[in-house]
Amino acid sequence: MGGAVKDLQSKAELEGLLKTGAPVVLHFWAGWCDASKHMDQVFSHLSTDFPGVNFLRVEAEEQPEISEAYSVSAVPYFVFLKDGKTLDKLEGADPSSLANKVAKIAGSVNPSHPAAPASLGMAAGPTVLETVQELAKEHGSTQSIIQKKQPATGDALRNRLQDLIDSHPVMLFMKGNPEAPQCGFSKKVVNILKEENVKFGTFDILSDNEVREGLKQFSNWPTFPQLYCKGELLGGCDIAIAMHENGELKEVFRDHGIVTGTETAVKGGGITESTGLSAILDSRLESLINSSPVMLFMKGKPEEPKCGFSRKVVEILREEKVDFGSFDILTDEEVRQGLKVYSNWSSYPQLYIKGELIGGSDIVLEMQKSGELKKVLSEKGVIITLEDRLKHLVSSSPVMLFMKGNPDAPKCGFSSKVVNALKEEGVAFGSFDILSDEEVRQGLKAFSNWPTFPQLYYKGELVGGCDIVLELRKDGALKSTLSQ
């Protein structure tokens, strides 16, 4: 690779190169940082002077995994590696130091003596060197890019971020502005929104580091751009591209009452023609919809939602203390596309109660605020009271264990002993972490008239706690007790 600079695309690519033991120099940079741009010219010239060294360029903010691995907090930043190990680092716009360190790692000088800048002066040229030196004087040798400590997202900042997110129905946090994007990813999303012919607001995260770092934590999304619709995060560049290409972005805007081009806003728009679904798919969708009294078709899983709208509905259902089933529509394209036709609802998430479509995140949120969601759940006979909820939980699996933690990571010795006893007996069982729900934890004590945990149930009836389970196992009666 000598004599050329290569853009590093992944951590795996770097790890593969390091295994060869060859000398490597990493240049962490950012397109908005002038010092980075000028040092990149120096970096490129050095790659010609030292053909035996691998020169790799890393866009720091677009490769957060690599940046974090080397504790990069500012750009320009250089890391020098050989035999798979980090030998040296350099922070800032210092051409002479960069040349010296490259020369050392290339093995062309004695590490115990300072190196001359090789042919740097001739290769890079005095204009580049002077420019770098002037930049260092004016702005310091580096510009902050990734904070070593995330700023605390206090109430004031959180409120400010929420106000910014809610300032437009469609809101894009980007590098630069729509007329002059400062990174390719931001430019792509701007172009997509323009093609969708939708009005949108923007915020230049390069202009405010507090917003920039705070929003990463607030949204739990580490990179930019970030696209929001009606206050909910849709995702970054890749997600926006995918949604645009398959038509889903237009559907999301339509379902949330956002007018695009000359369209008229339609609430719950969708396909109105005959479905034309096969009998097999139709039957499968009906079965999925009715697989749980409350069923959520979403992106991702409740533990790890893949879009803000899905996350919002999950939070609402948990606030309402509702047990619900879910289906990740990202795992099955047939279900994803078929359900849009079946339900005449063109976007996700979709919430069903007793087989009937309730709607998406906007409708569910409005129903919760007005109290209508609780009313519908009650009218449909879905678990509402704590007693009903507990009855449902203890019967949710033939053998049901209420414990501290989960079977893979028990949080107390007694729970661990019961889990081990059941596993050693080859008994399949469901479990519930009582540390995750204080209402269940306290309610179950009164419900079962048993003051401690773990509690083991069989077919909805209490078997007992740790001592009783261990006694049954000792007597050889545990497996037979749980299979009568």
> Is pLDDT larger for residue 254 or for residue 444?
444
156-173 average pLDDT score: 90
Q: 155-255, what's its fold?
A: Glutaredoxin (3.40.30)
pTM: 0.40
CATH of 5-144, one of 3.90.1720.10, 3.40.190.10, 3.40.30.10, 1.10.1740.10: 3.40.30.10
Domains 5-144 and 279-384 share a fold: yes
CA–CA gap between residue 355 and residue 368 (Å, rounded): 19
Residue 28 has pLDDT above 80, yes or no: yes
What's the topology of domain 389-481? Glutaredoxin (3.40.30)
User: Residue 351 pairs with which residues in a beta bridge?
Assistant: 296, 359
Mean per-residue pLDDT, 479-484? 86
pLDDT-wise least confident of 20-29, 65-74, 130-139, 307-316: 130-139
pLDDT at residue 124 in the model = 44
**Quick one: pLDDT at residue 81?**
93
Rounded to the nearest 5 degrees, what angle is found at the Cα of 201, between the Cα atoms of 198 and 206? 135
Give the tokens for residue 411: 């949080």
pLDDT band of residue 120 (cuts 50, 70, 90) is very low
| pLDDT tens profile 333-349 | 899 989 988 888 878 89
pLDDT at 274 exceeding the cut of 50? no
For residue 130, pLDDT beyond 90 = no
- Dist CA 423 CA 294 (whole Å): 31
Q: What is the mean pLDDT of the chain?
A: 82
Residue 139: pLDDT over 50: no
Higher pLDDT among residues 135 and 442, named by residue: 442
Number of residues that this document lists for the chain: 484
pLDDT at 122: 39
Domain boundaries, the chain: 5-144, 155-255, 279-384, 389-481
Nearest of 333, 332, 336, 315 to residue 324 by alpha carbon: 315
Higher pLDDT, 31 or 456: 456
Q: Which residue has the higher pLDDT, 219 or 56?
A: 56
The span from the CA of 260 to the CA of 265, in Å, is 8
The radius of gyration computed from the CA coordinates of the chain, to the nearest angstrom, equals: 29
Please report where in the chains the tokens 């740097």 appear, as a residue.
120
Q: Report cis status (omega within 30 of 0) of the bond before 222.
A: no
Cis amide bond preceding 454, omega within 30: yes
CB 478 within 8 A of CB 425: yes
Structure tokens at 83: 């035999």
Least confident of 77-86, 102-111, 236-245: 102-111
> Mind listing the pLDDT tens digit for each residue in 348-395?
899 999 888 988 888 898 888 888 888 888 778 775 677 877 888 898
Quote the pLDDT of residue 61: 74
Over residues 204-229, mean pLDDT:
87
| Predicted local distance difference test score (pLDDT) of residue 92 | 81
Two tokens at 58? 């890393």
Least confident of 87-101, 121-135, 259-273: 259-273
- What pLDDT score was predicted for residue 467? 92
Q: What angle do CA 139, 142, 88 make, to 5 degrees?
A: 150
pLDDT at 351: 94
Confirm if 47 and 53 have CB atoms less than 8 A apart. yes
Question: What's the CATH number for 279-384?
Answer: 3.40.30.10
Share of the chain above pLDDT 70, in %: 85
Q: How confident is the model at residue 248 (pLDDT cuts 50, 70, 90)?
A: confident
How high is the pLDDT of residue 26? Answer: 95
**So what's the pLDDT on residue 384?**
60
Binning pLDDT at 50, 70 and 90, where does residue 213 land? confident
pLDDT of 126: 46
Question: What local confidence, expressed as pLDDT, does residue 27 receive?
Answer: 94
Highest mean pLDDT among 68-72, 115-119, 400-404: 400-404
SS (H, E, C) the chain: CCCCEEECCCHHHHHHHHCCCCCEEEEEECCCCHHHHHHHHHHHHHHHHCCCCEEEEEECCCCHHHHHHCCCCEECEEEEEECCEEEEEEECCCHHHHHHHHHHHHCCCCCCCCCCCCCHHHHHCHHHHHHHHHHHHHHCCCEECCCCCCCCCCHHHHHHHHHHHCCCCEEEEECEECCEECCHHHHHHHHHHHHCCECCEEEEHHHCHHHHHHHHHHHCCCCCCEEEECCEEEECHHHHHHHHHCCHHHHHHHHCCCCECCCCCCCCCCCCCCCCCCHHHHHHHHHHHCCCCEEEEECEECCEECCHHHHHHHHHHHHCCCCCEEEEHHHCHHHHHHHHHHHCCCCCCEEEECCEEEECHHHHHHHHHHCHHHHHHHHCCCCCCHHHHHHHHHCCCCEEEEECEECCEECCHHHHHHHHHHHHCCCCCEEEEHHHCHHHHHHHHHHHCCCCCCEEEECCEEEECHHHHHHHHHCCCHHHHCCC
